[in-house]
């Protein structure tokens, strides 16, 4: 009897417990279920980003220079993967990584639910990895940057990192413009992390905006190719070339060597990433002399027909001696430029006020950043006159004692060619950069005619002459400063030029650093031929009318005499000038 009562009591207690459990389950699941619904959704609902493509970069003619292509990134849930250690060797083999490396990464992220296993790979490769059916392995869509022009435009464009964020060059300068805004959506995942359904679009993805550059990829290719040929021919260490549209300040080409492949960032040393045309400062050598002459003409110290006695080819200035390459005797002002006389430039500077000369050069952009917006722009070095010693003004007049970048030199020559109006260089098509008048138009045109003699018979850069076109230019051969505080027997070879002289279109600077002296190092030998080759192609591509028909006809007649063929009958009058704003 007692046993029966105890059994009944136990059964009653179990029944009450069961009823209490059922009641509790009913309460939390039906009556007050908000907390547990939220917890359940937290384990199944996920907010995931919607990737967006970066804006395309094109050249001035719409040709793609940087594009984003869709790729896949394989990721895994470390918590799930660590539960199937027997599948890890198979996964490591598919990923192409050592097994111990994969195990170490998973162990380090054991408390996480997300780990990238392999990023930005071909979708077919990602599908082969997913086809293995390994628990906890999934993929997601991303974008990878591709540069069709490769190393030819590497320094201008820069590159992006694995997250498609701009790191250098214009990719960095316009990162916010190009990047776009990723979207977001809410999805349901199963226990293995796979998406089994879309719940809600939280925020649509906004693609990045496209960017049109002033660069012409055809001229860029010419510049890159000819610069490389010059470095190989003369055994040089490095080089830069900049081509600027005279009227607009648009940078049509900018190439540097050594360079790198932006599609394979790790394939070149870090030093090769530097855009030397914008960041490297160099003593500009004799490319300064036309500006010195322009300053003297503006100050009224000399007239274009004035003469200078350069005998005996040297002069003492304190304890220093300034020398010319030869004794040029008596020269007019044009001769100072044509013969590249250090002595002539120094004598002109000697007559100018220090502050006036300094401010004149500042007007042409020396000593201040060009303002193009390119990351890492250098301002160069132009010391305030209060810090000049007795020699510095003289050396500045012929290109020593100050420093500038190739872009600064190109912008200064474009100002001379543009009737004395300085235009801030730009890389973005359609921008209207600031301009300022820095010298009287007639003085600028006079100096241009003087520079024209440099590429003609008796000048220092006849190898820069272009058949059918008048070329205004200036060579430069600057000795390199060494670590001991003096100048070495190594050189930097320059040529800065404008073509055509009538209705100028291009201002171009070529810099070749440290050519082998045994193979020639003068600017007229090393850099002027690069200018000629690039400009010949550019004039043809841009359909720029010639301004020297007589020379072209004379060359045709001479060729006809050798081959006994009739001379082509063409009009001897110059064709109508081509507007400098014309694009192909």
Q: Which domains are seen in the chain, by residue range?
A: 47-212 (3.90.1310.10), 217-563 (3.40.710.10)
pLDDT for position 577: 37
CB 88 within 8 A of CB 103: yes
CA distances from 467 to 440, 535, 549, 577 (A): 30, 11, 9, 17
How many helices (H) and strands (E) would you count in the chain? 21, 19
Question: Token digits for 317?
Answer: 């200035």
CB 268 within 8 A of CB 245: no
Question: Token digits for 122?
Answer: 């071909």
Containing 69, the helix (H) or strand (E) segment is strand 64-76
374 φ/ψ angles, rounded to the nearest 5 degrees: -75, 135
434-443 contacts: CB < 8 A, separation 24 or more?
Answer: 434/371, 435/249, 436/363, 438/360, 438/363, 438/364, 439/294, 439/298, 439/360, 439/363, 439/415, 440/298, 443/294, 443/297, 443/298
pLDDT for position 364: 97
Grouped pLDDT means (10 residues each) for the chain, 584 residues: 70 76 69 56 59 90 93 86 88 90 87 85 88 86 90 95 90 93 65 55 78 97 97 97 97 97 86 94 96 97 94 89 92 96 95 96 96 94 92 94 97 98 96 93 97 94 95 94 76 97 97 95 96 97 91 79 60 39 32
Cα–Cα distance measured from residue 441 to residue 447, given in angstroms and rounded to the nearest whole number: 10
Question: Token digits for 185?
Answer: 């959506």
What string of DSSP letters covers 490-554? EEEEEEEEEE-SSS--EEEEEEEES--GGG---HHHHTHHHHHHHHHHHHHHTTPPPS-HHHHHH
Cα–Cα distance measured from residue 310 to residue 422, given in angstroms and rounded to the nearest whole number: 32
pLDDT for position 222: 97
pLDDT for position 534: 98
Write the burial class of residue 404 (CB in 10 Å: 0-12 exposed, 13-18 middle, 19+ buried). Answer: buried
Name the nearest CA neighbour of 549 among 470, 457, 447.
470
Write down the pTM of the prediction.
0.82
Which phi-psi region, left, alpha or beta, contains residue 312 (left: φ > 0; alpha: ψ -120 to 50)? alpha
The rounded Cα 144 to chain-centroid distance in angstroms is: 20
Cα–Cα distance measured from residue 152 to residue 254, given in angstroms and rounded to the nearest whole number: 9
pLDDT for position 559: 75
What are the catalytic residues?
Answer: 286
Question: Token digits for 175?
Answer: 């990162």
Cis upstream peptide for 258 (omega within 30°) = yes
The bridge status of strand 330-332 relative to strand 183-189 is unpaired
pLDDT for position 278: 97
Cα–Cα distance measured from residue 269 to residue 248, given in angstroms and rounded to the nearest whole number: 35
pLDDT for position 584: 30
CB 493 within 8 A of CB 526: yes
């Amino acid at each position: 009897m007692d046993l029966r009562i105890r059994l009944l009591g136990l059964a009653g207690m179990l029944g009450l417990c069961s009823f209490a459990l059922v009641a509790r389950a009913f309460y939390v699941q039906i009556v007050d279920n908000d907390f547990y619904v939220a917890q359940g959704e937290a384990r199944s609902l996920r907010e995931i980003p919607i990737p967006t493509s970066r804006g395309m970069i094109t050249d001035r003619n719409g040709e793609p220079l940087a594009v984003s292509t869709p790729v896949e990134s394989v990721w895994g849930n470390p918590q799930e993967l660590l539960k199937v250690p027997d599948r890890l060797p198979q996964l490591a083999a598919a990923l192409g990584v050592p097994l111990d490396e994969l195990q170490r990464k998973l162990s380090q992220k054991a408390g996480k639910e997300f780990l990238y296993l392999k990023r930005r790979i071909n979708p077919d490769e990602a599908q082969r990895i997913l086809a293995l059916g390994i628990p906890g392995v999934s993929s997601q869509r991303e974008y990878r940057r591709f540069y069709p022009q490769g190393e030819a435009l590497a320094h201008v464009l820069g590159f992006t990192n694995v997250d498609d964020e701009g790191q250098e060059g214009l990719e960095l300068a316009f990162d916010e413009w190009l990047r776009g805004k990723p979207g977001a959506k809410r999805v349901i995942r199963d226990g293995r992390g796979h998406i089994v359904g879309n719940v809600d679009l939280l925020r649509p993805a906004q693609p990045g905006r496209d960017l049109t550059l002033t660069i012409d990829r055809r001229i860029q290719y010419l510049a890159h190719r000819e610069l490389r040929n010059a470095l190989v021919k003369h055994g040089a260490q490095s080089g830069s070339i900049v081509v600027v549209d005279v009227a607009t300040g648009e940078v049509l080409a900018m190439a540097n060597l050594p360079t790198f492949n932006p599609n394979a960032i790790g394939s070149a040393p870090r030093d090769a990433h530097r855009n030397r045309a914008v960041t490297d400062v160099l003593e500009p050598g004799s490319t300064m002399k036309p500006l010195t002459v322009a300053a003297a003409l503006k100050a009224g110290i000399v007239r274009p027909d004035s003469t200078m006695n350069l005998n005996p080819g040297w002069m003492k200035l304190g304890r220093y001696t300034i020398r010319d390459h030869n004794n040029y005797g008596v020269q007019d002002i044009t001769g100072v430029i044509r013969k590249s006389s250090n002595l002539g430039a120094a004598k002109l500077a000697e007559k100018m006020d220090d502050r006036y000369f300094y401010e004149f050069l500042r007007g042409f952009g020396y000593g201040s950043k060009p303002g193009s917006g390119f990351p890492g722009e250098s301002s160069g070095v132009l010391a305030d006159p209060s810090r000049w010693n007795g020699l510095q003004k003289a050396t500045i007049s012929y290109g020593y004692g100050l420093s500038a970048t190739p872009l600064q030199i190109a912008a200064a020559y474009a100002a001379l060619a543009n009737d004395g109006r300085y235009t801030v260089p730009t890389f973005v098509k359609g921008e209207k950069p600031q301009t300022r008048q820095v010298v009287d138009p007639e003085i600028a045109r006079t100096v241009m005619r003087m520079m024209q003699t440099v590429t003609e018979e008796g000048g220092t850069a006849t190898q820069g002459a272009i058949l059918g076109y008048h070329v205004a230019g200036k060579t430069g051969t600057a000795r390199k400063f060494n670590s001991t505080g003096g100048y070495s027997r190594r050189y930097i070879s320059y040529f800065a030029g404008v073509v055509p002289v009538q209705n100028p279109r291009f201002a171009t600077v070529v810099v070749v650093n440290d050519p082998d002296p045994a193979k020639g190092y003068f600017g007229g030998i090393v850099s002027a031929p690069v200018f000629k080759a690039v400009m010949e192609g550019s004039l043809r591509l841009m359909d720029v009318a010639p301004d020297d028909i007589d020379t072209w006809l004379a060359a045709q007649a001479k060729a006809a005499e050798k081959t006994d063929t009739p001379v082509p009958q063409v009009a001897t009058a110059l064709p109508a000038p081509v507007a400098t704003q014309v694009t192909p």
